[in-house]
Structure 1
Amino acid sequence: MRTIACLIYPDVMSLDVTGPLQVFASANVECQRQGLPIAYQLRVLAEQAGPVATSAGFQLVAEQAWAECAPAELDTLLIPGGLGEAAQSANQPLLTWLRSAEPQVRRLGSVCSGALILAAAGLLDGRRATTHWADVAALRAHNSIEVDGDRLHTYDPEGQDGDAHVFTSAGVTAGIDLALALVEADLGRPLALAVARRLVMFLRRPGGQAQFSALLAPDANCTPRLLGLLEWIAQNLAADLSLEALAQRANLSSRSLSRLFVQELGTGPGRYVEQLRLEAARNLLQGSGASIGTVARLTGFRHPENLRRTFHKHLSVSPQDYAERFA
């Protein structure tokens, strides 16, 4: 029996709490369906036992004060995010308790902006971490953390592409992806797949998959010369969009164009074009029913292998898998 505890506090995001806990509860149901003993005991902690108001306006009930909980009794401790995160990041007794709990629990993780609470406790120093895309800048303010703002979670039981002990996850529903990954590590992929099916979810979005998808649009605040180029790029994805070709079209040197992209958009021309082509490919795979080869040709990747490499690089899935999941 593994005890999974989740912290709550005033103005916590309710889904950051209930989403992951429901995954573990559903794992217990699937264990019983298969004639196995239940695997998890769930516990909700707060500064004091009793009802706590969430940011949604309703209350969740904590059964125990975290100060009265012996961390050694816990297998996994989860720290959710929410509007009340800032107050908890300044709650020194809580931060002290978290620092004492870290070496005693097998797994310590966060959901959404809960990463900022772990960061305030110094528990992400020297580690890779992510959080909700809107809070990435705040997490980057902690210079000792390796922030990867474009992934779903940083849990990896093998410790190769993440951490098996202290880990983080992105916004809101990414906590469910994290919980499924924890269940898979504990109980195996077949049972985790049964949980995902029960919850009508895909098992599983890989931790390294990008968390935010939006077709890149030219910024109206860009200089007119760059704005015109960006609009042309979006309409000509299958054209030659090499640095040299773009520089010639903009009547700039390659170095000047690269400097302008970084200054105006925060990224270089090559990465911008790759992201735009990737977004276009995702949209085609989701809605058109086009073949992989056709998508590669229409979006400028030219060959399916180039498309495959880019999908694995940014989304950790193949174009075929992406189409099967999201079309």
Structure 2
Amino acid sequence: MPSVAIAIFPGVQALDVAGPVDVFSEANGFIDGNGRYQVTLLAADSKPLRASNGITFIADETFDQKRPDFDLALIAGGPALPESAPDPRLTDWLANVASRCRRYGSICTGAFALGHAGLLDERNVTTHWQHAQQLATQFPKARVDFDRIYLRDDRLVTSAGVTAGIDLALALVAEDHGPQTALKVAKRLVVFSQRQGGQSQFSPYLTAPADETSPVAKVQAHVMAHIRENFTVKQLADVAGMSARHFARIFVQDTGVTPHEFVERARMDAARKLLESSGVALKTIAYDCGFGTADRMRIVFTKRIGATPKQYRERFRQE
């Protein structure tokens, strides 16, 4: 019987726990004999602990209890986890259990706990889109993918934010018992067995500049105000009052992306807002947002978020 450990802590995201637990529980209804999952919740102590939404959890076991090795060990995430000091009890348990598990990993921001335990170095990982850059900065030896819903790197598994833990658990069920079993579970839970696109479709591409009075911020505002137009580096440099070479260097230094990359992201955000809020024809949106044609917009959308503009509208249109 595969044994699954899920580590929890005060302030844990309840759905990071409940989602995977429900997947494994529902899977047991389609599995015979020794293939059924046995899930154990573990915490630093046996006291009731409150999740971030106020729900109370009680762990089945504590980190210091001796027991046979788990087949899979996961650490759930929590809204405060990226900013919290590491709990040495959790960190020690993760480091120890990872060395003895067939698979181990994290859900959502649980990746930060893995990082504190030294388990992300030189590994391909993902986390909630809102904290992906922070994870990459805090643990520079990790190779953070900002878009993936879940990722497998040898024995290490990581997922994006919150409901992505369900996607990860379904993938593990498919790995253990075949895609048909995972599909049956997904139908029971009324979710997709394999979600289309990455988590970029949920995240904004653009963030406000740190200094809104800077030449770079002036260029960004200019692009957003004239999004239909075509831009060259020379034109944008003129707006900033710099030479093209100096502007390109400063822009990358301040934003982390090239001017061309920024313009394409700006077009994406403008188009996404129109797709979410209106029924305007795709060719009109493409023209108004500077893509030129609907085909070009479709190519960029598919490359960046793994979904066409039509698919994006179907998922996120606000009626």
Q: TM-score range by the shorter chain?
A: 0.7 to 0.9
* Cα separation, 2, equivalents of 1:184 and 1:320: 29
Q: In the alignment, which residue of structure 1 is the partner of 2:4?
A: 4
Q: Secondary structure at the match of 1:45?
A: strand
Name which of 181, 192, 198 aligns with 2:182.
192
Maintained 8 Å contact 1:155/1:164: no
What are the residue-to-residue correspondences of 1:1-327 with 2, within 5 Å? 1-29=1-29, 31=30, 39-49=36-46, 51-70=48-67, 72=69, 74-82=70-78, 83=80, 89-91=86-88, 93-132=89-128, 133-134=130-131, 136-148=133-145, 150-156=146-152, 163-205=153-195, 208-210=198-200, 212-214=202-204, 216=206, 219=209, 221-223=211-213, 225-327=215-317
Q: Secondary structure at the match of 1:62?
A: coil
Maintained 8 Å contact 2:8/2:41: yes
* Cα separation, 1, equivalents of 2:262 and 2:287: 18
> Which segments of 5 or more consecutive residues in structure 1 lack a partner in the other structure?
157-162
Deviation, structure 1 residue 273: 0.8
Q: Secondary structure at the match of 2:200?
A: coil
What count of residue pairs does the alignment treat as equivalent? Answer: 314
Deviation, structure 1 residue 208: 4.3
Maintained 8 Å contact 2:218/2:239: no
Deviation, structure 1 residue 240: 0.7
TM-score calculated relative to the size of structure 2: 0.82
Structure-2 change in CA distance of 1:289 and 1:189 (3 Å): farther
Q: Percent identity?
A: 38
1:223-261 deviation line (CA, Å, top 9, x unaligned) = 364444323311322211232332344443222322332
Deviation, structure 1 residue 290: 4.4
Deviation, structure 1 residue 270: 1.1
* Cα separation, 2, equivalents of 1:240 and 1:315: 22
> Which segments of 5 or more consecutive residues in structure 2 lack a partner in the other structure?
none
Q: Secondary structure at the match of 1:11?
A: coil
Maintained 8 Å contact 1:115/1:168: yes
Q: Secondary structure at the match of 1:108?
A: strand
Maintained 8 Å contact 1:112/1:172: yes
Maintained 8 Å contact 2:136/2:143: no
* Cα separation, 1, equivalents of 2:210 and 2:97: 48
